[in-house]
């Protein structure tokens, strides 16, 4: 069995004051279902990734709410894991297809963040971290600033290297009409932006965003005789049945670490990223060196540097230089965050992990427009919750 | 493959002012892991069912929080579907075992409701319903009162029949030391309790409760040659490898309906319950008439009457009489809610669906103490979200 990305749907990301959470979820879902050429009746289950709607929209039970709006009567779930909600929802949706329980499922991430006071959103987002560190006053910028400081001290990572992540992702977003900030910014602009928590300034941080993203995932049994998921772990493709547009998820792995940063053995790595990546690659039966494109979790610029190292694209400590020298820029050897990433495409929390899948899918389908990467057939997504307590990695190929 | 309930853990249900959400979750989880004779390291994934912790404890990302407290480094998820969160988490956990991805998983439901003002809890709970009906002023007692009124008008269901549900469940809870209200109440007590929303008075409603419940679920492959989930759909047992204590989940199904009560074709049935029950029975390959015991979702007394009818234990319109004549009381032909149900055992939202599984498991293991039902080998649980937008049914057998 293999999991096909049968359809995708994505709203504009940004400050969308004229649209409710339900409006956004409906728009992305309908687009994904239409793109899959299925109808609502074909959808067996709905997985909704969302972190904050109880606090921001007084609405929980989002699985049923969204299934209801689409007239879907199958199963419906809401999955939450802070900023990794999208990745987790995808992982659970995949399990149910592999189990043989559902054939076509809709995975939808949505978040509505700009209609409540900024202080309320900041407070609500702190629910992603540990109670102890929250009470000690450690905000998320502070947690990532600690990691950045440690990385700078240990490896000589520079302020300019951090800023280069932001500059690159804005450059990529300038080719993405769905991005919240579809324009370039200069190195100087990042470096002179207001300091939030040293060494991270305003343009080192991803923004508060409204938006929704959706994919339809479908099972494709090669033959009834070989429908068992396991073994083999490698979901080999059958070329004769594939078109060049077909994209499959061939690896999906989740790992956790301590919720407290203080309890980790190292401040300069996200152990959950390493573990999830290794599992996902093994599951897909591919080598990291064959990955041609990646969407990674750049909630702060330091996070993308850590991701490069922990995923294994470069050695530990060399992430800053790896990015600064242009390897991960469009035209480089391994374009990273061609969507603009969380930084410039935007970060509607629950939608982020699913948007990553959509970006890689579109790249593999050669429909990424001006930001299309050449000769790409194998990609990776990396979604993180909290300060690294949850990491989710998916492998996509065609 | 079949899913074994390998261990159970349950805290006292009630107003537990000296315990936090994490305390409760930890206590239930540890008991379940110990009961399974596994250790934390053996647990591949953690599924946390919770509705309100963002609002009541300023804490989200509960999968990682609870996995972290137990030193579990596998995957972790939070699942929410209002009062059906527990049932949904079980369903998703089962999918991941059937997929072959995880072998031993912890499913934990926890809710902390009594430490915030009653008005805040009432407001937060309204997030389970539709925005439109919420804005129209329809609280949950009102939604269920509409169903009760319609049932009384159409079928002649009486106020005394409604009250008999409460009396029975309190009687059952009097044998359950974990129950929030472990004592009997009289018919007169229910009938003279303060009116909340006619015809439902205070003792027709389940209470606000703190508590946690946890189960360890494990895969048991009969042989490597027959490890595929499907076919056969019926997960036949291998008696030689079972002890009388072994309990298996053999059916797990979820269905949804419109989130708005106003959009349903009938006020006197929960269509999602019917659909989920039929699917679960088919999956388990058993007939409803062979079910010997059930835990059903009695958030209000009318809900248990509807459940009896929609699950198929009696004809539509006869649920009130069915319960009033004692069929579902301990000693009757089909004891229902031997735990005391949501009404008398308590209703810590996320924990409820998992507590139902624990009660049936203990009954099938003959360890239900003074409320043990004789010769019971096949049971059913029924968990509902909102006013029936989500329904989850599980079948357990040994």
pLDDT 10s digit of each residue in chain A, 398 long? 589 999 999 999 999 999 999 999 999 999 999 999 999 999 999 999 999 999 988 999 999 999 999 999 999 999 999 999 999 999 999 999 999 999 999 999 999 999 989 889 999 999 999 999 999 999 999 999 999 999 999 999 999 999 999 999 999 999 999 999 999 999 999 999 999 999 999 999 999 999 999 999 999 754 333 333 333 334 444 433 445 689 999 999 999 999 999 999 999 999 999 999 999 999 999 999 999 999 999 999 999 999 999 999 999 999 999 999 999 999 999 999 999 999 999 999 999 999 999 999 999 999 999 999 999 999 999 999 999 999 999 999 99
User: In Å, how far is B189's CA from the nearest CA of chain A?
Assistant: 34
Higher-pLDDT residue of A241 and B53 is B53
User: Which of A101, A113, A139 to mutate to test binding with chain B, by most B CBs within 10 Å of its CB?
Assistant: A101
Question: Is the previous residue joined to B160 through a cis bond, with omega within 30 degrees of 0?
Answer: no
> What ipTM does this complex have?
0.94
* B277 noted as active-site residue: no
Cα separation, A20 vs A62, whole angstroms:
13
Distance (Å, rounded) from C-alpha B109 to C-alpha B86?
6
- pLDDT band, very low/low/confident/very high, at B2 (cuts 50, 70, 90): confident
CATH architecture of B2-116+210-244: 3-Layer(aba) Sandwich (3.40)
Whether B79 and chain A come into contact, CB under 8 Å, resolves to yes
Site from B26, B45, B54, B271 to mutate, A interface, most A CB atoms within 10 angstroms: B54
What count of other Cβ atoms lies within 10 Å of the Cβ of residue A377? 14
- pLDDT confidence of residue B226: 36
Nearest-CA residue of chain A relative to B252?
A: A101
pLDDT digits (tens, 9 = 90+) for B160-195: 999 999 999 999 999 999 999 999 999 999 999 999
DSSP string, B170-192: HHHHTT-TTSSS-S---HHHHHT
**Candidate from A59, A64, A259 with C-beta closest to B390:** A64
Query: What is the average per-residue pLDDT within B342-364?
Result: 98
Check if CATH label 3.40.47.10 holds for domain B130-207+250-397. yes
CATH of A2-116+210-247, one of 3.40.47.10, 1.10.760.10, 3.90.180.10, 3.40.640.10: 3.40.47.10
Per the DSSP assignment, residues forming a β-bridge with B252 are B394
Contacts of B91 in chain A (CB under 8 A): 75
Is B273 touching A (CB cutoff 8 A)? Answer: no
Which residues, at least 6 apart from B90, have a Cβ–Cβ distance to it below 8 Å?
Answer: B47, B49, B107, B215, B217, B249, B252, B353, B354, B357, B392, B394
Is the model's pLDDT at B220 over the cut of 60? yes
A77, closest residue in chain B (CA to CA): B81
Quick one: pLDDT at residue A233? 37
At residue B275, does pLDDT exceed 70? Answer: yes
Give chain B's mean pLDDT: 93
CA nearest B7: which of B105, B88, B96, B101? B105
Strands A45-49, A104-111: pairing kind: parallel
The verdict on B257 touching A (C-beta cutoff 8 Å) is yes
**CB proximity B9 to A under 8 Å:** no
Q: Do B68 and A389 touch (CB under 8 A)?
A: yes
CA distance A45 to A219: 13
In chain B, which residues have their Cβ closer than 8 Å to the Cβ of A91? 75
pTM score, two decimals? 0.95
Domain boundaries, given as residue ranges, for chain A: 2-116+210-247, 128-207+250-397
pLDDT of A291 reads 98
Q: How far apart are CA B32 and CA A160, in angstroms?
A: 51
A128-207+250-397 has the same fold as A2-116+210-247: yes
Tell me the C-alpha distance between A343 and A201, whole Å: 12
Domain A128-207+250-397 in CATH 3.40.47.10? yes
Q: DSSP character for A68?
A: H
Residues in B touching A127 (Cβ below 8 Å): 53-54, 58-61
Is B360 or A239 the better-scoring residue by pLDDT?
B360
pLDDT at A195: 98
Report the residue from B124, B229, B254 with minimal CB separation from A99: B229
Tokens encoding A361:
């899918």
The active-site residue, picked from B91, B297, B347, B362, is B347
Chain B contacts in chain A segment 307-336 (CB below 8 A)? none
Region of poorest pLDDT, from A314-328, B118-132, B296-310: B118-132
Contact B92 A96 (CB under 8 A): yes
Residue A124 contacts B, CB cutoff 8 Å: yes
Residue A255 to residue B227, Cβ atoms within 8 A: no
Q: Which two tokens stand for residue A331?
A: 């035209």
Within 8 A by CB and 6+ apart from A192, the residues are: A201
pLDDT of residue A235: 43
How far apart are the CA of A220 and the nearest CA of chain B, in angstroms?
15
Chain A closest-CA separation from residue B366 CA (Å): 31
């Amino acid at each position: 069995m293999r999991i096909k990305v049968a359809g995708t749907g994505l709203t504009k990301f940004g400050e969308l004051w004229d649209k409710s959470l339900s409006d956004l979820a409906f728009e992305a879902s309908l687009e994904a279902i239409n793109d899959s050429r299925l109808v609502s009746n074909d959808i067996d289950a709905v997985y909704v990734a969302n972190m904050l709607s109880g606090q921001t929209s007084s609405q929980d039970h989002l699985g049923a709410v969204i299934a209801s709006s689409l007239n879907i009567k199958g199963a419906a779930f809401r999955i939450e894991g802070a900023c990794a909600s999208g990745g987790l929802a995808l992982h659970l949706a995949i399990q149910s297809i592999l189990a043989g329980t559902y054939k076509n499922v809709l995975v939808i991430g949505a978040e509505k963040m700009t209609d409540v006071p900024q202080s309320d959103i900041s407070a609500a987002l702190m629910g992603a971290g540990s109670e102890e560190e929250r009470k000690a006053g450690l905000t998320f910028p502070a947690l990532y600033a600690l990691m950045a400081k440690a990385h700078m001290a240990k490896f000589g990572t520079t302020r300019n290297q951090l800023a280069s992540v932001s500059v690159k992702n804005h450059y990529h977003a300038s080719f993405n009409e769905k991005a919240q900030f579809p324009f370039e910014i200069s190195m100087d602009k990042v470096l002179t932006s207001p300091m939030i928590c040293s060494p991270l300034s305003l343009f080192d941080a991803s923004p508060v965003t409204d938006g929704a993203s959706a994919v339809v995932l479908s099972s494709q049994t090669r033959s009834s005789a070989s429908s068992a998921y396991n073994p083999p772990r490698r979901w080999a493709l059958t070329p004769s049945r594939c078109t060049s547009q077909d994209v499959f998820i061939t690896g999906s792995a989740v790992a956790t670490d301590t919720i407290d940063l203080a309890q980790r053995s190292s401040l300069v790595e996200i152990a959950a990223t390493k573990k999830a990546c290794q599992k996902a690659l093994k599951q897909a039966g591919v080598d990291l060196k064959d990955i041609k494109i990646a969407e990674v979790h750049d909630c702060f610029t330091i996070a993308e540097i850590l991701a490069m190292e922990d995923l294994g694209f470069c050695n530990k400590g060399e992430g800053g230089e790896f990015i600064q020298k242009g390897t991960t820029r469009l035209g480089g050897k391994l374009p990273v965050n061609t969507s603009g990433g969380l930084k410039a495409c935007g970060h509607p929390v629950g939608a982020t992990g699913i948007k990553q899948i959509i970006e890689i899918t579109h790249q593999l389908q050669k429909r990424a427009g001006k930001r299309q990467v050449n000769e790409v057939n194998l990609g990776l997504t990396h979604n993180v919750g909290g300060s690294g307590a949850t990491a989710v990695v998916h492998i996509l190929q065609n």
